A = this chain, B = another copy of it.
Amino acid sequence: MPFGLFGIVENLTLLTDLYELTMLGGYFAQGKIEQKAVFDLFFRHPPFNSTFCLAAGLEQAVDYVLNIHFGKEEIDYLWNLHLFPDDFLDYLKGFRFTGDIYAVPEGRPVFPKTPMVVVKAPIAEAQFVETALLNFINFQTLIATKASRVYRAAEHGNVIEFGTRRAHGPDGAVSATRAAYIGGCSGTSNVLAGMKFGIPVKGTMAHSWVMSFQKEIDSFRKYAEIYPHACLLLVDTYNTLASGLPNAIIVGKELEQKNFKFLGIRLDSGDLAYLATEASIELDEAGLEDAKIIISNNLDEEVISQVHADIRSMARLKGIDGERIIRRLIYGVGTHLVTSRGWSALGGVYKMAAIGVDGRMEPKIKISDNPDKTTDPGYKKLYRFYENGDMQLDLLTLSDEEMRVDESRTAFHPQFPWKRMSLPAGSDFELMHETIIKDGELVYKLPNLVEIQQRMKQDLERMHITYKRMTNPHLYKVSLSAKLSNLKQRLLHEQRAEMNNFHDPAIHI
């Protein structure tokens, strides 16, 4: 059995929590499987100090939904659990997703409590896809968002994803690489991700290459001889400034004398700001002005910002051009990027928004002791408004509201309806949800990764700098339409009235 653990990939249908199946069995037993329901997938808090996330993972989620099928192995396994009746297992054999999925495309900024994905389907199907949708979208959205922070800290320089060896398993590496590209990375060391997604692959040598020679310079010369077009030398195996850098400069000059381009050096330890500054000066003095300096070693957005600040300070003291040093940097970012250090999971949730009752969709609200966790009810759409070309606010409406350009409207705070603002007629807005799957069929052309990254860059250009900063960013407004706000307040008061018979002294209900 080759790749025992990856037998899983022939059929991912059972990538689900058991309770999705017990509930599905419950709906089946009641004859309720065809009852329509609407679920929203959203997150409550962006990771780190970000104002927004970058949507990612939709393509894999869609792949999953379109390919759900319970084969013999799955049915046999479930039968052996002695939990489900035979008629239900028979029903599963023909189970498919036949509903609709609306979603914000990958690479677009998304904000807390706005539905990134809306599933409208028979309740059995809509419920069943919960776990897998969350798995794909939580992870890739998290990593794309982390990558966006790193990319912004690198001042839109070249960030290469280097994290395969510390990622969460093989797919944790490959999918993280995909998401990192969406967030702004320009390449990866991961060859499998390169092959599967067309992401440019990068990399040269490890310390072990240098150590496999008696002398460091011999290891450099041999590498330059074999890869004259891709010669980038790791200079910190023994002593960066006393040995690695002078040896690299010798070999770099030899290479350029043979009319090849010397790509540069990599620093993987020590004080990166200090070493990069010194290396830049010495490379220039040797006439290797175009050589790049790759820095790596536990980089993340904070370390990169600090390296930039320190290079600028040191350059100022030396009276040289710090911007030039920074422009020649390339950032190899591994562990902290692909495992999202400091915020290892996005807490996306999947909540029922409406359910079909007697042929109409009845909006549902989940009230929590914590008002922050109370959901927005109903089958909804998400619009984004722009002011002078910049993103202004996101507006949630009920799906049957007409949105006419020539009408003004009022946007209501989602929790405090007395807080509101006017959106004049003629405002520029767009519907953020694309119809991805309709009646179980893919009706959307999934963009490739380059297109997704381009869209991300276009969107970030339309976002004011105050939303993009690393620390204490400005809060972006997400508002409700008048109709949705009224519905929410009505349901809150109705449910409050129902709860009057409850009497828990510890809790405001």
Q: Which residues of A are interface residues toward B (Cβ below 8 A)?
A: 2-9, 12, 14-23, 25-27, 29-30, 32, 35, 37, 39, 59-60, 63-64, 67, 73-74, 77-78, 81, 83, 123, 127, 130-132, 134-136, 138-140, 162, 164-176, 178, 189-192, 194-196, 201-209, 211-212, 222-223, 225-227, 229-230, 237-243, 269-271, 274, 335-336, 339-342, 344-348, 350-352, 355, 364, 366-369, 499, 501-504, 506-507, 509
Contact = CB atoms under 8 A, between A and B. Distances in A.
A83 B227 contact: yes
Contact of A352 (B29, B208, B241, B501): B208
Q: Which of A12, A226, A274 has the most CB of B within 10 A?
A: A226
Given A170-B15, A206-B23, A355-B212, A230 B175 contact: no
Nearest to A81: B201
A173 to B, nearest CB: 6
Contacts of A509: 239
25 contacts: A3-B64, A5-B63, A15-B164, A15-B170, A15-B192, A16-B191, A16-B192, A17-B164, A18-B202, A21-B191, A22-B227, A22-B230, A23-B206, A32-B212, A37-B212, A77-B195, A83-B230, A138-B165, A139-B168, A139-B172, A140-B169, A166-B345, A238-B502, A339-B344, A342-B344
B135 A170 contact: yes
Contacts of A165: 17, 130-131, 134-135, 138, 348, 350
Given A8-B171, A168-B169, 13 more contacts: A5-B60, A6-B12, A9-B170, A22-B203, A22-B204, A22-B227, A26-B205, A78-B191, A138-B165, A166-B346, A171-B172, A211-B364, A340-B344
A361 to B, nearest CB: 13
Contacts of A178: 5
| Chain A to chain B: the 4 pairs with minimum beta-carbon distance, closest first | A242-B502, A18-B203, A168-B168, A19-B203
Given A12-B170, A172-B168, A201-B81, A239 B502 contact: yes
Given A131-B164, A239-B507, A205 B21 contact: no
A19 B206 CA distance: 7
Contact of A9 (B3, B77, B237): B3
Given A165-B134, A269-B369, A366-B211, A503 B242 contact: yes
A165 B25 CA distance: 20
A194 to B, nearest CB: 7
B366 A207 contact: yes
A257 B8 CA distance: 42
A196 B23 contact: no
Nearest to A167: B135
Nearest to A219: B26
B37 A5 contact: no
Nearest to A342: B344
B164 A167 contact: no
A117 to B, nearest CB: 13
B3 A63 contact: yes
Contacts of A16: 164, 190-192
